[in-house]
Structure 1
Amino acid sequence: MKGHWLLVLSVVLLIYAVHGCPHKCLCYTTSKTADCKNRGFTEIPAHLPPEIQILQLQNNRIWRINQNSFTGTPLLKILDLSNNSLSSLAPGAFQKLRYLQVLNLTRNLIHYIENKTFSFLPHLKELDLSSNSIIRLPESFGNSTGNITLLSVKHNKLQKMERVLLESLPNLKVVLFKDNPWQCNCNVFGLKLWLESFLYRGGISDGIICSTPGIRKGKDLLKVPYELFGACPLRTAHVHLASIHHHSFEHRSSPKHAHHSEHGEYGRSNCEPKPKPRPVSLRHAIATVVITGVICGIVCLMMLAAAVYGCAYAAITAKYHREHLAPVKQHGTPEEKEPFDGSLA
Structure 2
Amino acid sequence: MSKGRNSTMKQESASVLLLLTALYAIYKVESCPSVCTCYSDPMTVSCQSQNFQQIPPGIPANSQRVFLQNNRILELRTGSFGIHTTVLWLYYNNISYIEPGTFWKLRNLEELDLGDNRNLRNLDPDTFRGLEKIQSLHIYRCGLSSLPPTIFRKLYTLQYLYLQENNLQYLQDDLFVDLVNLTHLFLHGNSIRVLSKNVFRGLFNLDRLLLHVNKIQVVNRWAFQDLSKVTILYLFNNSLSELSGETMDSLASLQFLRLNANPWICDCRARSLWEWFKRFRVSSSDLICVLPEEKKDQDLRYLTDKDFSACPLSNPSQDRTIGRNRASSNGRLGFNGTLNNLYGSAEGKGSSPKPDPSTFYKGLKSNNGLSPKYNMPTGEDDWPNYENEGELTSSSPNRKKKLPGRCFGSECETEDSSISQWFCHWFVWIPILATALLFH
Q: Kindly provide the amino acid, as one letter, of the partner of residue 17 in structure 1.
A: F
CA distance in 1, matches of 2:59, 2:253: 51
Q: Tell me how far apart the structure 2 counterparts of residues 143 and 238 of structure 1 sit (CA, whole Å).
A: 19
Unaligned runs of 5+ in 1: 243-345
Match of 1:36 in 2: 114
Q: From 122, 132, 136, give the equivalent of 2:214.
A: 132
Is residue 269 of structure 2 the alignment partner of residue 187 of structure 1? yes
Match of 1:171 among 253, 264, 271: 253
Q: CA RMSD in A?
A: 3.4
Structure 1 pair 224–143 and aligned structure 2 pair: CA distance change class (3 A): closer
Residue 70 (structure 1) aligns with: 152
1:177: how far off?
0.7
SS at match of 1:237: coil
Q: Does the 8 Å contact 1:25/1:34 carry over to 2?
A: no
Q: Which has the larger radius of gyration?
A: 1
Question: Quick check: 1:97–1:121 contact (8 Å CA) kept in 2?
Answer: yes
Tell me: CA distance 1:4–1:104, structure 2 relative to 1, closer, same or farther (3 Å). Answer: closer
Indicate which of 304, 322, 327 corresponds to 1:225.
304
Residue equivalent to 1:210: 289
Instruction: State the Cα distance separating 1:4 from its structure 2 match.
Output: 9.1
* 2:321 is aligned with 1:239: no
- How much has 1:223 moved relative to structure 2? 2.8
Counterpart contact for 1:209–1:217, Cα < 8 Å: yes
Answer yes or no: is 1:50 the counterpart of 2:132. Answer: yes
User: Identity, % of aligned pairs?
Assistant: 21
Give the aligned residue type for 1:205: S
Residues 204-225 of structure 1 deviation map (CA, whole Å, 9 limit, x = unaligned):
1113111111221111113323
1:156 is matched by which residue type in structure 2?
Answer: N
Task: Give, in whole Å, the separation in 1 of the partners of 2:182 and 2:212.
Answer: 19
Q: Does 1:97 align with 2:175?
A: no
Higher RCO (CA-CA < 8 Å; seq separation 6+): 2
Q: Deviations over 1:243-276 (max 9, x none)?
A: xxxxxxxxxxxxxxxxxxxxxxxxxxxxxxxxxx
TM-score w.r.t. the length of structure 2 is 0.48
Q: TM-score, normalised by structure 1?
A: 0.60
Q: Give, in whole Å, the separation in 2 of the partners of 1:85 and 1:42.
A: 9
Q: Tell me which of 112, 124, 132 is aligned to 2:194.
A: 112
- SS for the counterpart of 2:315 is helix
Query: Distance in 2 between the 1:223 and 1:121 partners?
Result: 32
How far apart are residue 6 of structure 1 and its match?
A: 5.4
- Once the 2 structures are TM-superposed, how far is the Cα of residue 16 of structure 1 from its aligned partner? 5.6
Cα deviations across residues 39-79 of structure 1 (Å, max 9, x unaligned)? 13223471474322111111111111222201253211010
State the Cα distance separating 1:31 from its structure 2 match: 9.4
Q: Could you tell me which amino acid in structure 1 is paired with residue 303 of structure 2? A: V
Higher helix residue share: 1
Q: CA deviation at 1:142?
A: 5.4
The 1-side partners of 2:91 and 2:188 are apart by 21
Q: Is the 8 A contact 2:204 2:226 kept in 1?
A: yes
